[in-house]
Copies of this chain bind each other. A is one copy, B any other.
Amino acid sequence: MINQLVQKIQKTKAPICVGLDPMLNYIPSHIIQKAFAEYGETLEGAAEAVWQYNKEIVDHTYDLIPSVKPQIAMYEQFGIEGLKAYAKTVEYCQQKGLIVIGDVKRGDIGSTSSAYAVGHLGNVKVGSNICTGFNTEFITVNPYLGTDGVKPFVDVCNEQDKGIFVLVKTSNPSSGEFQDKLIDGRPLYELVAEKVVEWGDASMDGAYSNVGAVVGATYPEMSKILRKLMPRTYFLVPGYGAQGGTAQDLKHCFNEDGLGAIVNSSRGIIAAYKQEKYSKFGPEHFAEASRQAVIDMIADINSVL
């Protein structure tokens, strides 16, 4: 699966994914009002607004990008109705030829991780039938429980040609609280990185492994070291744009061939129309603003590669 992502990145010359993390206050009022008129100020109404918003952004950007990353929490907050909008968004993006990275950050003890893995990446057996729950190409995984919590995800990746990105060094301000703690002189995230390499060793798919890593754009010195520690691991890089990471900050996430990383931007793309820079588009043309923001982001990142 990582090889498919690499090919799409090469074809689009766009090592980016658009983070479909629709907060209600990002969504232009004409979409909100229409959804509420139809379904009321209910979970269903919120889910409809989210779906229509996503759809328009995807329609205006899918030809430029290889991938999207919906953040499931933004859907889960609206319960079942929200998760229906998540599933619908995933399916629509796939129909448009996009690779979907479900940002779910799941992770548990062995048998439970297996259930998450088949639920999000694979197929679940029901009687003699093979069924699918949430069917994304990649998901993100939390490593705090160690190998037996991560291995079931890797197994499903190997069986079904899917992929995961394991949290190594996250982009948020307090990520260092535990992740940076020194163990025999080395930060915890480096130990996690070494495990990611080990977990992904038997999951090679072309030049890279189906077991990738989340490495935040906001800590450039650390990503430099992590790039060396994990030469065949693809990085999913959050933190660009709204969270403060610049193109200069994330150039070390890439290998010399210009591959090895895919950079996410959520708010910076999907709510671009709210920025001064794109205000000329106005809320009615929010998706055109998103398209322009994608074009600008691709140029910005390619300028440092």
A→B interface (CB under 8 Å)? 21, 23-24, 32, 36, 40-43, 45-46, 71, 73-74, 76-80, 82-84, 87, 105-113, 115-116, 118-120, 124-129, 131-134, 142-149, 167, 170-179, 181-184, 188, 191-192, 195, 238
Contacts and interface: CB of A to CB of B under 8 A. Distances in A.
A113 B105 CA distance: 11
Contacts of A109: 170-172, 238
Given A76-B115, A78-B133, A133-B78, A181 B188 contact: yes
Between A83, A111, A145, the greatest number of chain B beta carbons within 10 A of the residue's beta carbon is seen for A145
Contact of A80 (B41, B84, B146): B84
A107 B105 contact: yes
B145 A175 contact: yes
B108 A106 contact: no
A242 to B, nearest CB: 10
Return the 9 tightest CB-CB contacts between A and B, nearest first: A79-B133, A41-B127, A146-B177, A146-B174, A77-B119, A109-B172, A73-B115, A41-B129, A77-B115
A4 to B, nearest CB: 23
Contacts of A144: 142-144, 167, 170, 178-179
Given A46-B126, A142-B144, A146-B174, A119 B78 contact: yes
A170 B43 CA distance: 34
B149 A178 contact: no
B129 A145 contact: no
Contacts of A171: 109
Contacts of A195: 177
Contacts of A115: 23, 71, 73-74, 76-77
A106 B43 CA distance: 21
8 contacts: A32-B127, A76-B116, A78-B119, A79-B87, A109-B172, A145-B175, A147-B177, A188-B188
A126 B45 contact: yes
Contact of A127 (B36, B125, B142): B36
Nearest to A238: B109
A127 B31 CA distance: 13
Nearest to A87: B80
Given A41-B129, A105-B108, A188-B188, 14 more contacts: A41-B127, A41-B128, A71-B115, A76-B115, A76-B119, A78-B124, A78-B131, A80-B133, A83-B83, A145-B175, A147-B177, A148-B172, A149-B170, A178-B191
